[in-house]
Copies of this chain bind each other. A is one copy, B any other.
């Protein structure tokens, strides 16, 4: 496949594909003249990358998580990311319930509604400058 086909199949602009290749997230195997040639599996991989981005992981994290393969699949790390997602799912759930309640609630101001505040107090401390990134990774830098 040439880059335009991959772009069409993945929904990503060619510029992003080049950028991802430069970052090592995807690979082209060879050229036709100047033009990159990609294998069909790259589309699958791009879907996975999008998914990871959407789940809030940075490109670097995704790179670590899904090495093209490797002797080091780092299972503990994958499990740690899964646990993080569990925590995040809990927060999002609390937030969602909070929003639904706020939309239904008669109180003039959310802060005067005890139920709203209670709902949101479930989820607490997980703030970081880059909500996309793991705290651990931030620390690591």
Residues on A lying within 8 angstroms of B by beta carbon are 11-12, 41, 44-45, 47-48, 50-56, 65-66, 68-69, 73, 75-76, 78-79, 81-82, 85-86, 88-89, 91-96, 98-100, 102-104, 108-111, 117, 120-121, 123-127, 131-132
Q: From residue A71, how far is it (CB to closest CB) to chain B in Å?
A: 10
Contact of A111 among B44, B76, B94, B125 (CB under 8 A): B44
Q: Using Cβ atoms and an 8 Å threshold, which residues of chain B touch A96?
A: 82, 85-86, 89
Q: Could you tell me the distance in whole angstroms from the C-beta of A30 to the nearest C-beta in chain B?
A: 20
Copies of this protein in the assembly total 2
- A122 to B, closest residue via Cβ: B51
Asked if B103 contacts A78 (CB within 8 A), the reply is yes
A125 near B11: Cβ-Cβ < 8 Å: yes
Which 3 residue pairs are nearest across A and B when measured between Cβ atoms? Answer: A85-B96, A78-B103, A75-B103
How many angstroms between the C-alpha atoms of A55 and B98 in the bound complex?
12
Cβ-closest chain B residue relative to A75? B103
**Known contacts A78-B102, A99-B85: does B47 contact A120 (CB below 8 Å)?**
yes
